[in-house]
Structure 1
């Protein structure tokens, strides 16, 4: 079968199976072993996947678990993972550091689809990722099916704001710009372009396949997408939900930072590192801020937002 004829699930399965550096797979196995036999899959994504640089960087993993009750020894961690997913934890293994977000299989599936209450999961998994550990074939198939919802969700959202016709790569860029605006992000404004520059051909292939699963009516004209009349109101429906998604996304970011003050050791230092790295700021965390990270986060984020360091 020609590459441009592959189904979306086939493309996702092939991409997830691309080999990674041995250190990443070993790290993933170490992470999976810490969660009481509840681990189902570990996914590697983000800037370190694109750069293949591990030393001196913080890797990004998602750990998918069968259920939160089994995964945790402490019931309050399970409760907060259900109420405000994901929980995020720091990990270190063989000199490499990472942050690990934890979701159940059920939440991971739902948060990659249009009905998700926020953009954070499907915006990330519309981008490349690797399945670097899984419990069994059933877990692998579950991850493939969950991630197969991400790209159609992003592109459908972007289609709602197309005036008439758009190039497929421009549609991806619009989608990423929309999702970045729906969270508090420390990245620079050119971040969506730099994400796509990693492999524009990949976005072309995935875009063609994903557009077969979008709700908004359109037709392909070569590499361009032509919007069709909105006879069923899908465009209006998508446009109407975005103001709420943006507001909720900003509030959820702040709520997750507050939660991380209790669940993520050194979370305030990570926040400063992340913002300094992406926004070019020189934030220095004071001793009192480490002692009272929740208070520090509640003061720090609005200040940085006003300065434009996060958006």
Structure 2
């Protein structure tokens, strides 16, 4: 079993990076500034931003992103991990299990068993593997009751990371993400600013130099009266919560018919990161 990370990423002439996961890693809801000209309105997200940042410090970065919105952890294991293993990348980011934990009746103990099998396969390739804790949902009244389940999964996941020598991005402790401005209107996906800050946090874990602070305090929020807040809650329930519940009841997924945005290792240019 490999132990420890695979060394300084900046010392490599050519670096291959594969991102695995669901909508969190696909990049929703962080569109590229020129997304109207990109087929299917491709999202950017923290993983693209990380690859762009790596390309500033490494001569050549080859990047694939296999993440697809709505994917459950077993689907990520069956669909994405074998492809990543075939690519034999230097670096893998893996965030999985969130969609499972959100489902009523899900068992964090069972979810983490699948998670460990994926980590074992990825680390066996010699890749440096970065994993992510779940978010603290205390700021979100509708999902606050999930804190215990998420915390349990986080503890199991950390134990797996210790056994296999993975880097851990402790998203739970990122209190800066408890601000609503870090989130899209659906309250489930990070905003562009949230993705930017998370990318900076991952860079910190990977010991990559950055010129911004992910933990920089937010400016004072604009005042809102209770009527505005109530209207926003009703809009959210109508436009997001009800359709989300309907998909769960009908066995459908937001990722049905969606393909990976970067299915193969392709060169990533540092200039991409300067587009916004």
Q: Same fold (TM over 0.5)?
A: no
Q: TM-score, normalised by structure 1?
A: 0.26
Q: Report which of the two has the higher share of helix.
A: 1
Q: TM-score, normalised by structure 2?
A: 0.28
Highest RCO, 1 vs 2 (Cα 8 Å, sep ≥ 6) = 2
